[in-house]
Homo-oligomer: A and B are copies of this chain.
């Protein structure tokens, strides 16, 4: 893979006005392709959830709370791949809208015990068809086999532990 242009002489440079831009080796990089794909998918999910005023990360937090009632805030943050400090305003927003609530753990009075409210569960129920539509959109582009292959390949990449502290 060569990065430098075929003609390195700046004197014969053309403004390339109107012509397509040559991105060179970028198009062959895994990270570049990942970035483009992730922008497309995350942007679409954001638009699908916009009618409920829910961001993808908020949705992920609601799902984790639904599946793990009473979980500590730090555990949720870890599961979402974010710092404990950055989870605070996210949870503040969910609690202010009555979608989640903060309790206190019985055995450890420092720790919190987070729960989804009924409104939060209802929100998840409204998000479910929106999520299904979003997912189906991209599954259709990939085909059943393609989607399965992609998930396996992405897991091989992403399963390299990343510890946000």
Q: Which residues of A contact B (CB under 8 A)?
A: 1-5, 8, 10, 13-17, 21-26, 28-43, 45, 56, 60, 63-64, 66-72, 75-76, 78-79, 81, 105, 107, 111, 113, 115-116, 121, 124-125, 127-128, 131-132, 134-135, 138-139, 141-142, 146-147, 149-151, 153-160, 162
Q: Tell me the smallest distance from the CB of A155 to a CB of chain B, in Å.
A: 6
Across the interface, do A138 and B30 meet the contact criterion of CB distance under 8 Å?
A: yes
Q: Tell me the smallest distance from the CB of A53 to a CB of chain B, in Å.
A: 18
With A16-B71, A36-B154, A149-B149 known as contacts, the answer to whether A66 contacts B3 (CB < 8 A) is yes
Across the interface, do B1 and A132 meet the contact criterion of CB distance under 8 Å?
A: yes
Q: Kindly report which residue of chain B lies nearest to residue A15, judged by CB atoms.
A: B70
Across the interface, do A14 and B149 meet the contact criterion of CB distance under 8 Å?
A: no
Query: Which of A2, A26, A156, A157 is the most central at the interface, judged by chain B CB atoms within 10 Å of its CB?
Result: A157
